[in-house]
Amino acid sequence: MRIFIGVALPLSLQKQLKKLLKVLERKHWPVKWEAIEKLHFTLVFLGEIPESKIVIVKEIVREICQQLPSFSLEIKGLGCFPDYLFPKIIWLGLKGDLKSLSFLQKQLKLKLKDQGFVIDNRPFLGHVTLGRVKKAKMKQLQEIGRQLKALREMEIGVEWHVKEVIIFQSQILSQRSKYYKVAEILLKNQNYKEEKWQISMLK
C-alpha cells in the first residue's frame, strides 16, 4: 500500500481555491493542476508499506493526536519547488499556528522512525500542491517563476481549524490517481473513525 499522512482542506477553503485556480488556468501555463477535492497537505510520506503495518501507523497517529488540540491555519502565498528560477511544482504556503503544525509533524516523523519506517529527512515545509509544470522552455519557466514570486504574499482570507489527521492510501493508475481515506484520527483525545473513502480520481 502506498501511504501518506496528511490533512484535507475544508469545503469553505476549497471554494476559494477553486476561484484562484480558474484565474491561474487562464494564464495557459503548461501546468497540470490538481483537482480541487484532492487538495491537502502532507505531514509524512511513507511510500509503499505492507498492509499489516497499517495498524502500527494508526496507533502512532492516534497517540500523537491525543496530545494536541485543534489548531488554526490559513493559506498564504504562492511558491514553487525547487525555486522561482526553475519552477516545477507550484504550491500554496501556510500560516497560523505553525508551532502546533511543526510539533505534529515532528512527533509523527520521530515515532514512525522509531518503529522502523523509512522517512524522508528533508526539512518540513507545510504546503498544498496546486500543480506540476510540464515541459516548458527556460524563458517560459522564468516567466512563471516571476509571476509566482509576485504572489508570494497573497492571502486567501479563510482560516480553518485542523481537527483531524488522515491516513491516505494513494493509487497511481497511468495518467490518473486515486486517494482513499484509510483512517481519520481526531485531535485531542477523541475517538477515530475508520473507513475507506474515495476522494477523487484524476482522468
Grid look-up 509503499 returns 48
Whether 105 and 61 have beta carbons less than 8 Å apart is answered as no
In terms of residue numbers, what domain contains 79? Answer: 2-201
Cite the active site residues: 40, 127
Domain count, the chain: 1
User: pTM of the entire structure?
Assistant: 0.88
The angle at the Cα of 29, spanning 26 to 31, to the nearest 5 degrees, equals 110
pLDDT tens digit string along 132-177? 999 888 999 999 999 999 999 888 888 999 999 999 999 887 767 7
Task: Please list the pLDDT of the chain residue by residue as tens digits (203 residues).
Answer: 999 999 999 998 999 999 999 999 999 999 999 999 999 999 999 999 999 999 999 999 999 999 999 999 999 999 999 999 999 999 999 999 999 999 999 999 999 999 999 998 889 999 999 999 998 889 999 999 999 999 998 888 889 999 999 999 998 877 677 889 999 999 975 554 444 444 443 33
Q: What is the CATH number of the domain that holds 78?
A: 3.90.1140.10
